[in-house]
C-alpha cells in the first residue's frame, strides 16, 4: 500500500462491524513520526470504543492502540528516532506538554488528552499511524513484535499501578479477572514480589493462573472461602469489565484497603463496607512515558510474556467476536496482511 492513501478498518457508526476504509495520510508535525503498522493487539477498550462506552469517540472510528511497526517518515525534528526504527505505540500519541500534569511528567493525565491525545487521525488497525515521536517507544531488539504490542496497553495498564503500590509496601494483592489484562497482572505482580491471589469467575483457569505466578486461586462465587479471607488483602486490582458482585470482594480488604480499577467494570454496590472500613476505590490509567520505558525493560528482564493468538488483520471482525465471547486466550494480536 502506498502512502497516497491509508487503508484501515473503521466502524462507520456506533456498534457497527469494522469495514475497510481509506483516507488521506495526515501531514507530519515537526516532532512527529509516521509508523507503518505490522502488528496491533486487540484490547477490550477497542470494543468499548466502537460501542462508544466512554462517550468520547467520533465516527468513523479506526480502533487499535497496541501498535508495533517501523518508522517510514520523520518530521523536521523527531526526538531520538529515525526511519527504519521499530517502535511500539499505545493509546497515547501526544500530549500538550505544558498543562500541570504534563509538567509533572504524568502525560497520561494531560488535560488535552481527549481532544488531541491519541494518534492522528486514526488507530492501529491501519496501514500507518502518525504520532509525536515522544510517544513512540524504541523496542528491545530481542522482543518479538507481538509481545511488544500487547505490552503497549495491557502491560503498562497493570504495571503502572503495581509498581507504584509495591513501593508503598502493599504486599497481599487480589487480582480480579484473568483475561488479557489479568494474565499480565499476575506475571508482573509475581515479579514484583506480591503475594498474589487470583479471583476468577471460573475454576477452569486455575492451572494457568498458577503457571503465570499466582500463589492462591479463588472462584469468585465461592462465598465460604471469601468469608474466611475477611480483612486479608491490602489491595485488589480489578482487571475485569462488566458486572461484578462487589460486596463479598470489599469484605476481603483490610481496613483502609484499596481497590484499583484498570478494567472498566460496572460499579454498583452497598457502600457500608467502603465507609465503615475506610476503603479507597481508585482508577489507574495507562502510565507515563518514564514508566512505559521502565515496564519494557522490566518485562524483558523478568521474561514476562503475554499469551498470544495471532490472526490476520483482515479477520478483525472475527477477532472482535472471539474477544466478546471471552474465547481469546489471552490476547489476540492482528498481523497486518494488507500492506
> Under the rule (CB under 5 A), what is the footprint of Zn ion?
43, 45, 95-96, 99, 102, 110, 153
Residue 305 CB, shortest distance to Zn ion, in Å, is 17
Contact 79, 134 (CB under 8 A): yes
Residue among 96 and 335 whose Cβ is closer to Zn ion:
96
Residue 93 CB, shortest distance to Zn ion, in Å, is 13
Residue among 57 and 96 whose Cβ is closer to Zn ion:
96
Enter the C-alpha cell of residue 295. 515496564
Nearest-5° Cα angle at 162, 43 to 273: 95
Rounded CA-CA distance 50/145 in Å is: 25
Range 310-316, long-range pairs (CB < 8 A, 24+ positions):
310/146, 310/334, 310/335, 311/335, 312/337, 313/9, 313/40, 313/125, 313/337, 313/338, 314/338, 316/9, 316/18, 316/42, 316/125
Residue 95 CB, shortest distance to Zn ion, in Å, is 5
Residue 150 CB, shortest distance to Zn ion, in Å, is 9
Residue among 153 and 192 whose Cβ is closer to Zn ion:
153
Residue 153 CB, shortest distance to Zn ion, in Å, is 3
Residue among 269 and 285 whose Cβ is closer to Zn ion:
285
Phi, psi of 272 (to 5 degrees): -55, -50
Residue 97 CB, shortest distance to Zn ion, in Å, is 6
Residue among 43 and 253 whose Cβ is closer to Zn ion:
43
Which residues of the chain form beta strands (DSSP E)?
A: 6-10, 19-23, 32-42, 66-74, 86-89, 128-132, 137-138, 172-176, 195-200, 216-219, 233-238, 253-261, 280-283, 308-312, 331-335
The rounded Cα 202 to chain-centroid distance in angstroms is 22
Q: Name the residue with cell 499505545.
A: 90
Rounded CA-CA distance 43/29 in Å is: 28
Residue 25 CB, shortest distance to Zn ion, in Å, is 24
Enter the C-alpha cell of residue 183. 494474565
Q: End-to-end CA distance of the chain, in Å?
A: 5
Exposure string of 141-176, with b = 16+ CB inside 10 Å and e = fewer, is eebebbbbbbbbbbbbbbbbbbbebbeeebebbbbb
Residue 230 CB, shortest distance to Zn ion, in Å, is 33
Amino acid at each position: 500500500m502506498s502512502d497516497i492513501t491509508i487503508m484501515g478498518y473503521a466502524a462507520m457508526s456506533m456498534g457497527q462491524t469494522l469495514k475497510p476504509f481509506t483516507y488521506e495520510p495526515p501531514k507530519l508535525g515537526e516532532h512527529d513520526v509516521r509508523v507503518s503498522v505490522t502488528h496491533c493487539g486487540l484490547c477490550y477498550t477497542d470494543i468499548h470504543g466502537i460501542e462508544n462506552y466512554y462517550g468520547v469517540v467520533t465516527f468513523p472510528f479506526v480502533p487499535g492502540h497496541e501498535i508495533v511497526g517501523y518508522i517510514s517518515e520523520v518530521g523536521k525534528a523527531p526526538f531520538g528516532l529515525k526511519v527504519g526504527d521499530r517502535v511500539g505505540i499505545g493509546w497515547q500519541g501526544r500530549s500538550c506538554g505544558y498543562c500541570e500534569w504534563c509538567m509533572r511528567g504524568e502525560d497520561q493525565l494531560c488535560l488535552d488528552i481527549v481532544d488531541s491525545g491519541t494518534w492522528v487521525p486514526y488507530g492501529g488497525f491501519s496501514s500507518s499511524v502518525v504520532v509525536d515521536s515522544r510517544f513512540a517507544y524504541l523496542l528491545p531488539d530481542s522482543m518479538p513484535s507481538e509481545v511488544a504490542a500487547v505490552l503497549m496497553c495491557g502491560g503498562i495498564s497493570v504495571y503502572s499501578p503495581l509498581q507504584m503500590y509495591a513501593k508503598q509496601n502493599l504486599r497481599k494483592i487480589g487480582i480480579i479477572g484473568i483475561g488479557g489484562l489479568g494474565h499480565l497482572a499476575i506475571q508482573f505482580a509475581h515479579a514484583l514480589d506480591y503475594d498474589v491471589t487470583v479471583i476468577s469467575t471460573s475454576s477452569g483457569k486455575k492451572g494457568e493462573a498458577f503457571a503465570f505466578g499466582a500463589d492462591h486461586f479463588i472462584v469468585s462465587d465461592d462465598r465460604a472461602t471469601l468469608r474466611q479471607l475477611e480483612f486479608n488483602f491490602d489491595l485488589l486490582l480489578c482487571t475485569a469489565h462488566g458486572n461484578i458482585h462487589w460486596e463479598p470482594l470489599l469484605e476481603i480488604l483490610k481496613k483502609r484497603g484499596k481497590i484499583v480499577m484498570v478494567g472498566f467494570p460496572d460499579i454498583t454496590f452497598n457502600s457500608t463496607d467502603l465507609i465503615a472500613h475506610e476503603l479507597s476505590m481508585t482508577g489507574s490509567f495507562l502510565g507515563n512515558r518514564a514508566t512505559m520505558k521502565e515496564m519494557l525493560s522490566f518485562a524483558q528482564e523478568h521474561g514476562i510474556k503475554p499469551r498470544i493468538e495471532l490472526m490476520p488483520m483482515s479477520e478483525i471482525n472475527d477477532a472482535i467476536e472471539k474477544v466478546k465471547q471471552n474465547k481469546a486466550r489471552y490476547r489476540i494480536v492482528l498481523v497486518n496482511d494488507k500492506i
